[in-house]
Structure 1
Amino acid sequence: MNFTVAQIAKMIDHSILRPEFTVRDVREGCAIAVKYDVASVCVRPCDVPVAVEEVRGSGVRVGTVIGFPHGTSPTAVKVAETALAVEQGAAEIDMVINVGWLRSGDVAAVEQEIKEIVVAAGDAHVKVILETAYLTDEQKLAACRAAERAGAAFVKTSTGFAPTGATVDDLALMRSAVSPKVQVKASGGIRTLDALLAMTSLGVARFGSSATAEILEDASRRHLTRSGGSASLIA
């Protein structure tokens, strides 16, 4: 499949999630997101108001993370986090499941928590982070199916803070586990255009990355090289 640079940009959630980032770092990250007109900027919950201010008037949505990065907050806390984030202007919610519950076999509890967060999110899209590094294939499949039953918009591989991130095998498995109405997001270790393009062939629709500028500058260079400056496509 072929994509323009603009189409690739709209597949990216620019991540600004490291714990040491200052408010200035957050503002600079939002400026990158606006410059490249990505799908969204994904920020820490405390940074949602700043991000909303920084991207106002652009085509970039604000997303945030819930129960991040371990997923172990009580459900009521995750629900409250979600409601506050939406009230402050977040349009996308990336929640971490309770990995321990899933590994214990309590899929029903995982599903119920996702459902409560989906309700609290309202019109905001909920992306369910599985943290695949800690799961068997059977657990990944169960989590994906629970997320779909609970009304999530996306299933997502990783937080980026676990030992491993997105893999081709996991993405193919996740895509097979859900219907076309649920999208798949890859996150964790996606730092090159080639990696992103390879994952689109598996049906991945969204990518979390902090290497947004590098990826899109590479895409622009390839367009210019192939087209002499005209609106060419990248395979």
Structure 2
Amino acid sequence: MDYAALIDHTILAPQATKEQVKQLCGEAMEYGFHSVCVNSSFVYYCAQLLKDSHIKVCTVIGFPLGAMSTAGKVAEAEQAMADGASELDMVIHVGMIKSGDWEYVKQDISSVVEAARGKAAVKVILETCLLTEQEKTQACRVCRECGADFVKTSTGFSKGGATAEDVALMRRTVGPEMGVKASGGIRSLEDAKAMVEAGANRLGTSSGAAIVKAQE
């Protein structure tokens, strides 16, 4: 298993500096990660640093709360793609799930998926630590219906991160064709193995270098 190829090498802290983002891109090239995942203001900078590599630029949309308006999410997505992002990790609207307003949730996801069609992959962050098992299952179904490319566990900014149990539930629900990204609290090779064994085919982590070194 080539774990490096599964990793979205991530820095999303509000205090992240340009120097730290530059270091992130350097590590991604050194270790052969799938992408770097940064806040949208850093997309253009990363795209320039990585333009001669195969490393993709991933960014987050409506992050970390998911409560931004749909129009705001679409605008952020469109600007990020114009700046060079080819993967968009959008946060689902947890409050609308809790309200039972699944039509809003569908429209929110569909709008970003439609904006990204043919230009970028869309991963929908469920923030599983805030949802019931029934809500997680329904959210996965909605993401699949809307044409999202991946479901993703967590932002890493709420009260919990990825668990193997949630990854397994998500994989069972979306089936083998759709992507499942585990993110939040993946810090070791053992964590990475557990997520992949549960069904994840992408890993979001800021500990990619440590994971790859442990594998070596």
Which TM class, normalised by the smaller chain length?
Answer: over 0.9
Map residues 124-143 of structure 1 onto 2, 5 A cutoff. Answer: 124-143=120-139
Partners of 1:179 and 1:113 lie apart in 2 by 22
Give 5+ residue unaligned stretches, structure 2.
none
1:101 match:
96
1:200 match:
196
Deviation at residue 122 of structure 1 after TM alignment: 2.3
2:8 counterpart (4, 13, 22): 13
Q: Which contiguous aligned blocks of 4+ residues in structure 1 show a shift greater than 4 angstroms?
A: none
- For each residue in 1:113-171, what CA deviation from the matched residue of structure 2 results, as whole angstroms up to 9, or x when unmatched? 11110011122100000001110000001110000000000000000001110011111
1:70 counterpart (49, 65, 83): 65
2:31 match:
36
Deviation at residue 8 of structure 1 after TM alignment: 1.1
Secondary structure at 2:139's aligned position in 1? helix
Partners of 1:173 and 1:180 lie apart in 2 by 12
Partners of 1:200 and 1:186 lie apart in 2 by 8
Once superposed, what is the RMSD of the aligned Cα atoms? 0.8
Pair member with larger Rg: 1
The alignment's TM-score, normalised by the length of structure 1, stands at 0.90
Partners of 2:198 and 2:163 lie apart in 1 by 11
- For each residue in 1:76-112, what CA deviation from the matched residue of structure 2 results, as whole angstroms up to 9, or x when unmatched? 0000100111111100000001100011111121111
Give 5+ residue unaligned stretches, structure 1.
221-235
2:177 counterpart (178, 181, 195): 181
Partners of 2:26 and 2:130 lie apart in 1 by 34
Partners of 2:156 and 2:215 lie apart in 1 by 23
2:150 is the alignment partner of 1:154: yes
Residues 37 and 58, structure 1, Cα contact 8 Å, conserved in 2: no
2:186 match:
190
Partners of 2:195 and 2:90 lie apart in 1 by 22
The alignment's TM-score, normalised by the length of structure 2, stands at 0.98
Count of aligned residue pairs for this structure pair:
215
Q: Give 1:41's aligned amino acid.
A: V
Partners of 1:135 and 1:159 lie apart in 2 by 13
Deviation at residue 185 of structure 1 after TM alignment: 0.3
Partners of 1:62 and 1:150 lie apart in 2 by 23
Partners of 1:111 and 1:169 lie apart in 2 by 25
2:44 is the alignment partner of 1:49: yes
Residues 153 and 181, structure 1, Cα contact 8 Å, conserved in 2: no
